[in-house]
Amino acid sequence: MVGILRPILQPLRRWISTAAEPNQHTASGIPQRRLARRFADAIDRAVALGLWDHADRLAQTAGRLAAGYPRLAEPLARLRLAQGDPETALRIIDTCRTPPASLRLLRATCLLFLGSRTEANLDLYKWSGRASAPLDARLLLGLMERHGDDSTAIRALLRNLRHLEDLRTLQALLLISTKRQRADQAEIWAGRLRAGCPAGTDDETGITNLMLESLGMPGLRDDAEPTPDQVHALAMELITFEPAISTLAEAQQRRPHLPTARLLVRAIEQALPDLSDDAAAFHILARLSVVLGDPDAARRFAEQGLAANPMSAQLALLVEALTEPTPPEPGGIVAAIGSGETPEGNTAVRSRAA
């Protein structure tokens, strides 16, 4: 009987014993992945804080974990590239079998630093033809090709504009057209840049304005009105998170950007019925109107806020400052609001209390 069952029981015993033993690769893979992610975060923080020696010590400790973990390989490669060692950075990147897009772009950058322009160009050329290629891949290829046959550069850059108006791509096309003395085409790209800049960040807007003016073209208009879609989207955000209103207004007072200030005023006006503190909203609208150089609107908003909250000292001071025969400079009004005092003292509050 035993001889008959032995061939059946032996595979069963092997299966039970194998299942009871831990898989060393699986057991160690999860902790190693977690450790690699922590090393990557620590290196990123050290570099952001300028602690280069600390980042280098972390990189030396974490070097053996980089193979197979792109999340760790990328900060390691960036660190080595920043230290002037593109060869080591490239070796780290090549340990990853399937690098993400950011790591592949970094590889092209390392090749350029090493003088392997042809290899970088071929890799970017094959990659940029795919729909999954990021905008930066085609932008880098276009900037590399601008010294040779610009038709390849323009063809690569135009693929970036199929679904959105990318400001950096438009800037590159403007520079190529200007270099080739194609004035009509350059003016087309400049017009699209002016139309697309209200949706960009302040830094992008500043760079675009500087580029246009340096090329002898009209810069960006400061009187551009926000679109209804922009106003509605921002109003919804402000209703969802009201503390952002005061933060954005403070930023505009410190570093005014007139199109952004106009957008913020329109969005707050649209969101007013759903805000919890009408008086505070009117106060911010008055401050933004001062930034925009519109004292009449500022006075109107301040009076509406004071009607909503007659006990507001700041609004009373603002109404008093704006109803003077010769209104002071906007900076003086804002300073008076911030300090809670005027040269004449708190007469506005006392007169309204009387």
* Tokens representing residue 133 in the block: 């290629």
The CA distance from 143 to 121, in Å, is 11
- Sign of the four-CA dihedral 234, 235, 240, 245: positive
Q: Cα dihedral sign for 335, 338, 341, 347?
A: positive
Answer yes or no: is pLDDT of 330 > 70: no
Q: Is the pLDDT of residue 345 over 80?
A: no
Cβ neighbourhood burial of 92 (10 Å; 0-12, 13-18, 19+): buried
Average pLDDT on 179-199 reads: 80
- Look at 253 and 147; give whichever has higher pLDDT: 253
Question: Stretch 273-302: mean pLDDT, rounded?
Answer: 88
Length of the chain: 354
Residue 282 or 202, more confident: 282
The 3 state secondary structure assigned to the chain is CHHHHHHHHHHHHHHHHHHHCCCHHHHHHHHHHHHHHHHHHHHHHHHHCCCHHHHHHHHHHHHHHCCCCHHHHHHHHHHHHHCCCHHHHHHHHCCCCCCCHHHHHHHHHHHHHCCCHHHHHHHHHHHHCCCCCCHHHHHHHHHHHCCCCHHHHHHHHHHHCCCCCCHHHHHHHHHHHHHCCCHHHHHHHHHHHHHHHHHCCHHHHHHHHHHHHHCCCCCCCCCCCCCHHHHHHHHHHHHHCCHHHHHHHHHHHHCCCHHHHHHHHHHHHHHHHHCCCHHHHHHHHHHHHHHCCCHHHHHHHHHHHHHHCCCCHHHHHHHHHHCCCCCCCHHHHHHHHHHCCCCCCCHHHHHHHC
> According to the model, what pLDDT value does residue 74 have?
92
From 260, 158, 263, 249, select the one nearest 206 (Cα to Cα): 260
In terms of Cα–Cα distance, which of 289, 351, 348 is closest to 317? 348
Overall average pLDDT of the 80-99 stretch: 90
What is d(CA 85, CA 83) in angstroms, rounded to the nearest whole number? 6
Distance from the Cα of residue 64 to its chain's centroid = 33
Between 178 and 352, residue with greater pLDDT: 178
Task: Tell whether the model's pLDDT for residue 163 goes beyond 50.
Answer: yes
Q: The tokens 């053996």 sit on which residue?
A: 64
Instruction: Delimit the CATH 1.25.40 region(s) of the chain.
Output: 116-218, 228-353
Instruction: Give the confidence band of 21 by pLDDT, cuts at 50, 70, 90.
Output: very low
Lowest mean pLDDT among 45-54, 139-148, 172-181, 341-350: 341-350
- The architecture (CATH level 2) of 228-353 comes to Alpha Horseshoe (1.25)
pTM exceeding 0.85: no
Sign of CA dihedral 318, 320, 323, 324: negative
Q: What is the pLDDT of residues 192-204, one digit of tens each?
A: 887 777 555 556 6
* Residue 329 confidence (pLDDT): 52
Model confidence pLDDT, tens digit, residues 30-71: 588 888 889 999 999 999 888 999 999 999 988 888 877 888
Average of per-residue pLDDT values in the chain: 78
More confident residue, 13 or 84: 84
For the chain, give the percent of residues with pLDDT over 90: 16
For residue 84, pLDDT over 90 is answered with yes
The answer on pLDDT for 90 being more than 90 is: yes
Q: Has domain 116-218 been given CATH number 3.40.50?
A: no
Between 301 and 328, name the one with better pLDDT: 301
Contacts 24+ apart (CB under 8 A), 113-120: 113/81, 113/86, 114/86, 114/87, 114/90, 117/144, 120/144
| pLDDT of the residue at 293 | 86
Q: Does the pLDDT of residue 323 top 50, yes or no?
A: yes
Task: Tell me the per-residue pLDDT of 213-271, one tens digit each, with 9 for 90 and over.
Answer: 777 877 666 556 778 888 888 899 888 888 889 888 888 888 887 778 888 999 999 99
